[in-house]
C-alpha cells in the first residue's frame, strides 16, 4: 500500500499541453476516481502514474519515492485496461502468472499465487482456457486477476467496465468495491460514468482540459460544487441551470419567480442551479410554470422534461405525479434551500436563499 503524490505535473505532446501543472495527493488505501469529459486527460494522467507515459514536468511520488524515471514494474503498480489486453496466445493461468514469471518466481510459487487470485475472483474453472474462449465479463475478471496476483501497492483502472453491458457493469462495480474493501490497496480509477464515480470513490477528481476542477468526496461534490462545470457533471440527471439577475436582496429568475437571498451578489447576470430532485409539487415555495414535453417513466420514479416560459429546458423528478401528459402546463415548486448560485462566468457564489 502506498500514497500517491502528483506535484506540478505537466504533459505535452509537442506544443499541445494535455496535462497542465497539476497537483493532487492520493491517500494510502483510498479509492480515487478521475472523471471528466472525453479527451480531458484522465487516461494520460493515469498512464503517467503507471509509467507508460513520460512526464514532461513535475514529479510523481509513490510511497514517498520520486518515480519519474522508474519503470512501471519498479513503481509497484498494476493496471487494468479498458479492452482487457489479455495475451491471446496464453491461457488464463499463464496470463495471470505472467508478471510473476517475469519476476523470476519459481513454478510452485507462481501456481500457488495464481490459484489464490483465481479463488478470489471465482475463475478457477477458466484457468485452462484462452481469452478468446471467455465472455466479456470473464475476461474482465482475468484482467483484474492479473493485477491482484502481484499484490501491487497501487491499482490503476482505465475505464475497466465500459465494454460490458449495463447489468454486468453494475455487478462488476460491486465486486470492485468489495475487492477494495478486502485488499485495502490504493486504487485509482478512470471513468466517464458518474454513477461509477459516485458509488466507488472515497475521493473524486473532476477534470477538464488537463486541469483539476475540484477534488472531494462524492457527497461533497454533490452538495457543494465549486463551479458550474462540476455542478453539471456530478448528479444524474444533471442539474438544471436557469438564467437570473440579482436585485436588492433577491434573485429574479427569467423563468418567473423571485428568490429571496441573504447576501448581495456583485454581478449583473447569474445562474441558479437546482437539481431535478429538488422540486416539490404543491407547497408554498416559489412556483415555476413549465410546459411538459416528455415524461420518462422509469418505474420507480419518473422525470418530466419541460420548457419554462423563458424557453429554458428543465428536468424535474416527479415521483408521485402520474397524471401528467405531454403538452400539459404544470406548476412546480422550488426547494429554495437547495438552490445554488453561480456567476455567469461559472464561479460559485456563496449565497443562500433566505427562508
Partner 1 sequence: MANKNLKAAGAHSMAILASLVMVIPIYLIAVNAFKSRAQASAMSMELPTEWHFENFSTVIAQGKLWTSFFNSLLYATASTAITTLVSAMAAYVLSRARTRGRRFLYLFIIMGIALPINYFTLTSVMQFTNLNNTRLGIILLYAATQIPFTVFLIYGFIETIPKELDEAAIVDGCKPLSLFFLIILPLLTPVLATAAILNFLGVWSDFIFPLYYLNSSANWPMTLAVYNFFGQFQQDWNLVSADILLTILPVIVVYLLGQRFILSGLTSGGVKG
Partner 2 sequence: MLRGPYPAYFVLPALVLYLTFFIVPSIGGIGYSFTDWNSYSTEVNFIGLDNYARIFSPKERYLTYLANTMIFAVVSIALKTVLGLGLAVLLHEGVKRFVNLYRVLIYLPVVLPTLIVALIFKSILNPATGLLNSFLRSVGLDGFALQWLVDPRIALFSIIGVDTWKGVGFITVILLAGLQTIPKEYYEAAKIDGAGAWARFRHVTIPMLMPAIVVVTVLNVLHGLRVFDIVYALTNGGPGYATEVIYTEIFKAFSQGRFGLGTAISSVLFVILAVAGYFVIRLLERKPTR
Ligand X SMILES: Nc1ncnc2c1ncn2[C@@H]1O[C@H](COP(=O)(O)OP(=O)(O)OP(=O)(O)O)[C@@H](O)[C@H]1O
Name the residues that contact Mg ion, by CB under 5 A.
43
Residue 78 interacts with which of partner 1, Mg ion, partner 2, none, CB < 5 to 8 Å by class: partner 1
Q: Please check whether residue 64 is in contact with residue 28, taking contact to mean a CB–CB distance below 8 angstroms.
A: no
CB of 125 to partner 1, least distance (A): 23
> Which residue's CB is nearer to partner 1, number 34 or number 341?
34
> Which residue's CB is nearer to partner 2, number 1 or number 52?
52
Q: Please check whether residue 6 is in contact with residue 44, taking contact to mean a CB–CB distance below 8 angstroms.
A: no
Residue 311 has a CB neighbour count (10 Å cut-off) of 9
Grid coordinates given for 5: 503524490
Rule CB under 8 A: say whether 12 interacts with partner 1: no
CB of 73 to partner 2, least distance (A): 11
Rule CB under 8 A: say whether 63 interacts with partner 2: no
Rule CB under 6 A: say whether 16 interacts with ligand X: yes
Q: Count CA atoms closer than 13 A to 206's CA, side-chain side.
A: 22
> Which residue's CB is nearer to ligand X, number 39 or number 283?
39
> Which residue's CB is nearer to ligand X, number 121 or number 207?
207
Q: Please check whether residue 183 is in contact with residue 149, taking contact to mean a CB–CB distance below 8 angstroms.
A: no
CA dihedral 84, 90, 93, 95 (to 10 degrees): -40
Q: What angle do CA 275, 285, 245 make, to 5 degrees?
A: 65
For ligand X, the binding residue among 33, 35, 40, 242 (CB under 6 A) is 40
Grid coordinates given for 118: 483465481
What are the backbone dihedrals phi and psi of residue 254, each rounded to the nearest 5 degrees, phi first? -60, -30
CB of 118 to partner 1, least distance (A): 17
Rule CB under 8 A: say whether 88 interacts with partner 1: yes
Residue 54 interacts with which of Mg ion, partner 2, partner 1, none, CB < 5 to 8 Å by class: partner 2
DSSP state of 228: H
Distance, CA of 334 to CA of 150 (rounded, Å): 53
Residues 41-60 as x/- pattern, contact with partner 2 by CB under 8 A: ----------xxxx------
DSSP state of 28: T
Query: Which of 39-47, 85-93, 232-240, 265-273 is the region at the interface with ligand X (rule: CB under 6 A)?
Result: 39-47
For partner 2, the binding residue among 7, 25, 56, 70 (CB under 8 A) is 70
Residue 43 interacts with which of Mg ion, partner 1, partner 2, none, CB < 5 to 8 Å by class: Mg ion
CB of 206 to Mg ion, least distance (A): 15
Distance, CA of 87 to CA of 94 (rounded, Å): 9
Looking only at the bridges linking them, the beta strands covering 77-80 and 154-158 are parallel
Query: Which of 38-46, 113-121, 220-228, 288-296 is the region at the interface with ligand X (rule: CB under 6 A)?
Result: 38-46
CB of 43 to Mg ion, least distance (A): 3
Chain positions 184 to 213 lying near ligand X, rule: CB under 6 A, are 192
Nearest to 157 by CA among 213, 122, 200: 200
Q: Give the relative orientation of helices 136-148 and 92-102 as an angle to the nearest 10 degrees.
A: 20
Q: Give the relative orientation of helices 166-183 and 136-148 as an angle to the nearest 10 degrees.
A: 20
Query: Which of 65-73, 161-169, 233-241, 292-300 is the region at the interface with partner 2 (rule: CB under 8 A)?
Result: 65-73
Q: Please check whether residue 194 is in contact with residue 162, taking contact to mean a CB–CB distance below 8 angstroms.
A: no
Residues that bind partner 1 (CB under 8 A): 50-52, 71-73, 77-79, 81-83, 85-89, 98-99, 102-103, 146
Please report, as ranges, the residues that interact with partner 2 according to CB under 8 A: 51-54, 69-72
Amino acid at each position: 500500500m502506498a500514497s500517491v503524490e502528483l506535484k506540478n505535473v505537466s504533459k505535452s505532446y509537442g506544443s499541445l499541453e494535455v496535462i497542465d501543472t497539476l497537483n493532487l495527493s492520493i491517500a494510502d488505501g483510498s479509492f480515487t476516481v478521475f472523471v471528466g469529459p472525453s479527451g480531458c486527460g484522465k487516461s494520460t494522467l493515469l498512464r503517467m502514474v503507471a509509467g507508460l507515459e513520460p512526464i514532461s514536468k513535475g514529479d510523481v511520488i509513490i510511497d514517498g519515492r520520486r518515480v519519474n524515471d522508474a519503470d512501471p514494474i519498479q513503481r509497484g503498480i498494476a493496471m487494468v485496461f479498458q479492452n482487457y489486453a489479455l495475451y491471446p496466445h496464453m491461457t488464463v493461468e499463464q496470463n495471470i502468472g505472467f508478471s510473476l514469471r517475469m519476476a523470476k518466481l519459481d513454478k510452485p510459487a507462481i501456481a500457488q499465487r495464481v490459484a489464490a487470485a483465481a479463488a478470489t475472483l471465482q475463475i478457477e474453472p477458466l484457468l485452462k482456457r484462452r481469452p478468446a474462449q471467455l465472455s466479456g465479463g470473464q475476461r474482465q475478471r482475468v484482467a483484474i486477476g492479473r493485477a491482484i496476483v502481484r499484490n501491487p501497492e497501487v491499482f490503476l483502472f482505465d475505464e475497466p467496465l465500459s465494454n460490458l453491458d449495463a447489468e454486468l457493469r453494475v455487478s462488476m462495480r460491486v465486486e470492485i468495491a468489495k475487492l477494495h474493501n478486502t485488499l485495502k490497496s490504493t486504487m485509482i480509477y478512470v471513468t466517464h460514468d458518474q454513477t461509477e464515480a459516485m458509488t466507488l470513490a472515497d475521493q473524486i477528481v473532476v477534470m477538464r482540459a488537463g486541469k483539476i476542477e475540484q477534488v472531494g468526496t462524492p457527497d461533497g461534490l454533490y452538495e457543494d460544487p465549486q463551479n458550474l462545470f462540476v455542478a453539471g457533471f456530478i448528479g444524474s440527471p444533471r442539474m438544471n441551470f436557469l438564467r437570473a439577475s440579482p436585485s436588492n436582496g433577491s434573485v429574479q429568475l427569467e423563468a418567473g419567480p423571485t428568490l429571496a437571498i441573504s447576501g448581495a451578489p456583485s454581478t449583473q447576470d447569474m445562474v441558479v442551479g437546482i437539481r431535478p430532485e429538488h422540486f416539490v409539487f404543491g407547497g408554498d415555495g416559489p412556483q415555476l410554470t413549465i410546459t411538459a414535453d416528455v415524461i420518462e417513466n422509469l418505474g420507480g420514479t419518473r422525470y418530466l422534461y419541460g420548457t419554462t416560459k423563458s424557453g429554458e429546458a428543465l428536468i424535474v423528478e416527479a415521483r408521485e405525479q402520474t397524471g401528467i401528459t405531454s403538452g400539459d402546463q404544470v406548476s412546480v415548486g422550488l426547494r429554495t434551500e437547495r438552490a445554488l448560485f453561480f456567476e455567469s462566468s461559472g464561479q460559485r457564489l456563496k449565497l443562500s436563499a433566505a427562508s
